[in-house]
């Protein structure tokens, strides 16, 4: 499953996707209306589904969906690089 598909699967229960288009430039808290508890829950689900770990420092300053996806991709790529090095 692609990152975009996983992301939409995880975030859809929290956002009315009929009213809001979830594009990379959408602000997570302002336009999607997610509070901090929703955001943490989404992060935990993404970590589990993608088998990655995001530190608080990794996600604290992320404002948009695109920034979050880029950070997740960075973690996935880093994990793949580590596996290749072994």
pLDDT tens for each residue of 6-48: 999 999 999 987 777 889 999 998 888 888 899 999 999 999 9
Range of the domain at 47: 3-85
Per the structure, how many domains does the chain have?
A: 1
In the prediction, which pLDDT does 19 show? 76
pLDDT band, residue 81 (cuts 50/70/90): low
pLDDT band, residue 50 (cuts 50/70/90): very high
Q: Cβ distance 24 to 69 under 8 Å?
A: yes
Matching residue, tokens 């993608």: 50
In the prediction, which pLDDT does 82 show? 52
- CATH number for position 74: 1.10.1200.10
> How deeply is 11 buried, as exposed, middle or buried, from its count of CB atoms within 10 A (0-12, 13-18, 19+)?
buried
């Amino acid at each position: 499953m692609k990152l975009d598909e996983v992301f939409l699967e995880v975030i859809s229960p929290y956002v009315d996707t009929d009213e809001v288009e979830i594009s990379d430039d959408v602000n997570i808290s302002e336009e999607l209306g997610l509070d901090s508890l929703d955001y943490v829950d989404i992060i935990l689900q993404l970590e589990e589904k993608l088998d990655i770990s995001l530190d608080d420092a990794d996600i604290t300053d992320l404002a948009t969906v695109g920034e979050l996806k880029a950070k997740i991709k960075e973690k996935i790529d880093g994990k793949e690089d580590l596996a290749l090095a072994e």
